């Protein structure tokens, strides 16, 4: 049950500047209020030309603050300082090239730029502008400055159809991704998070593989790809250069932006994509749920049930252990991580898991139960599990969201490299 007391809610200040992408913000505000945040909105003069302040006041249940309010006679304190002190977290969405320039050069000529310069709370940045503006040398120089701000989490603009009807990079990141970034920051309990994976390359696999049987059937499994996706996004939030190789994603949320990803179908595709990247990565996280066997016969016809027995007898082929095979070419400074699903008790599974970490040649293996309700497979499922290392040490991570689990796992993975 949600607690509707304002005192108990997370206070969120949303800064809205004059990009056409501002029309997306009312939906974001509405969803955040439904998720029990106490939201206040601040609009620039140009943003007022694109959306109505009254709409944001109604949706947020708080009066929308305008640029002209900064030095209003009814303000007993400097408004930009008062708002910074009120907020637990901030979001600036969309961030325009003009506001970015004012921020990094210390130009406090308006309410929003004054807030940005005075603020020391965690802030999520969601830029939006035309592609030519985004790739401009001055804009990129200013944007790079933000990466040195310890309280800033940047979400780069997305690729798509822009307001000029051209396809390019410049769209505001999806609302779902902004909310995911907010949840990530919340997991740090209002403390500054660190880009402790800056300049690190992480290769992550996730989701299911699918092996064709005949024209109508295939061998696959229930993996949604959500755990791998959360690992990829958390690593990206923490500064890593991430490549995510995955099967079809079964997730209704629009949270795939911002990471380089490749969708594969079967184990052969997966192996080929890993081969391209494995020598370049610092961390390899093998989260993909690979089918155990495939059909060697490439038939274009639907096989009658009456012929199944002979067909499988002559055509079934076990898929090699992908993590084990790539561990044979593992470099000394690389960390390889495997995943292991189990049923029953951890007491009964422990011996098998410890054998697997040796067999697969990895540094760590995370074992999670899949026979407990609302755990394991599925985009909305939570997870718990046990992380084992090569020294017979194990660490239990209690049931939590897959985002929080990803963050805790990456903490442990980083520690293994020290």
Of these residues, 41, 64, 164, 281, which one is catalytic? 164
Q: Is 320 annotated as a binding residue?
A: yes
Q: Which residue has the tokens 């943003």?
A: 47
What are the E-state strand segments in 314-377?
316-318, 335-342, 364-369
CB 112 within 8 A of CB 67: yes
Q: Is 354 annotated as a binding residue?
A: no
Burial class (CB in 10 A: 0-12, 13-18, 19+), 301: exposed
Q: Is 356 annotated as a binding residue?
A: yes
Q: Is 292 annotated as a binding residue?
A: yes
Q: At what angle do helices 79-86 and 111-118 cross, to 10 degrees?
A: 50
Quickly list H helices, 189-305: 226-237, 267-277
Cα of first residue to Cα of last residue in the chain, in angstroms, is 42
Three-state secondary structure of 166-204: CEEEEECCCHHHHHHHHHHHHCCCCCCCCCCCCCCEEEE
CA distance 118 to 318: 61
Q: Is 321 annotated as a binding residue?
A: yes
CB 127 within 8 A of CB 94: yes
Q: Is 82 annotated as a binding residue?
A: no
Is 164 a catalytic site residue? yes
Known binding-site positions: 292, 320-323, 339, 356, 360
Known binding-site positions for CTP: 292, 320-323, 339, 356, 360
Q: Which residues are catalytic?
A: 164
């Amino acid at each position: 049950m949600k607690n509707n007391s304002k005192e108990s809610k997370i206070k969120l200040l949303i800064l809205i500047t004059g990009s056409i992408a501002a029309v997306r913000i009312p939906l974001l505000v509405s969803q955040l209020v439904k998720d029990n945040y106490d939201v206040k909105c601040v609009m620039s003069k140009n943003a007022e030309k694109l959306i109505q302040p009254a709409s944001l006041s109604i949706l947020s249940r708080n009066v929308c603050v305008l640029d002209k309010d900064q030095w209003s006679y009814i303000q007993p304190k400097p408004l930009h300082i008062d708002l910074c002190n009120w907020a637990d977290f901030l979001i600036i969405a969309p961030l325009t090239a003009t506001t970015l320039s004012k921020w990094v050069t210390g130009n406090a000529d308006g309410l929003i730029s004054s807030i940005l310069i005075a603020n020391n709370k965690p802030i999520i940045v969601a830029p939006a502008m035309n592609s030519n503006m985004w790739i401009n040398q001055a804009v990129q120089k200013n944007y790079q400055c933000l990466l040195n701000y310890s309280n800033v989490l940047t979400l780069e603009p997305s690729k798509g159809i822009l307001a000029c009807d051209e396809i390019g990079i410049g769209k505001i990141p999806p609302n779902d991704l902004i909310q995911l970034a907010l949840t990530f920051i919340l997991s740090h309990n209002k403390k500054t998070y660190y880009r402790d994976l800056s300049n690190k390359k992480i290769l992550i696999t996730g989701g299911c593989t699918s092996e064709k049987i005949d024209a109508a059937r295939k061998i696959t499994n229930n993996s949604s790809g959500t755990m791998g996706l959360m690992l990829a996004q958390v690593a990206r939030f923490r500064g890593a250069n991430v490549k995510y190789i995955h099967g079809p994603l079964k997730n209704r949320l629009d949270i795939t932006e911002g990471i380089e990803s490749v969708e594969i179908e079967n184990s052969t595709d997966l192996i080929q994509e890993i081969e391209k990247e494995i020598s370049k990565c610092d961390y390899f996280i093998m989260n993909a749920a690979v089918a155990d066997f495939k059909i060697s016969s490439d038939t274009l016809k639907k096989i009658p049930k009456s012929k199944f027995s002979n067909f499988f007898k002559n055509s079934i082929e076990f898929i090699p252990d992908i993590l084990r095979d790539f561990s044979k070419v593992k470099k000394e400074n690389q960390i390889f991580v495997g995943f292991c699903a189990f049923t029953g008790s951890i007491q009964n599974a422990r011996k098998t898991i410890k054998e697997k970490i040796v067999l697969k040649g990895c540094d760590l293996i995370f074992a999670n139960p899949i026979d407990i309700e609302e755990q394991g497979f599925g985009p909305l499922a939570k997870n718990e599990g046990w992380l084992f290392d090569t020294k017979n040490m194990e660490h239990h991570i209690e049931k939590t969201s897959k985002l929080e689990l990803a963050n805790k796992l990456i903490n442990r993975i980083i520690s293994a490299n020290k």
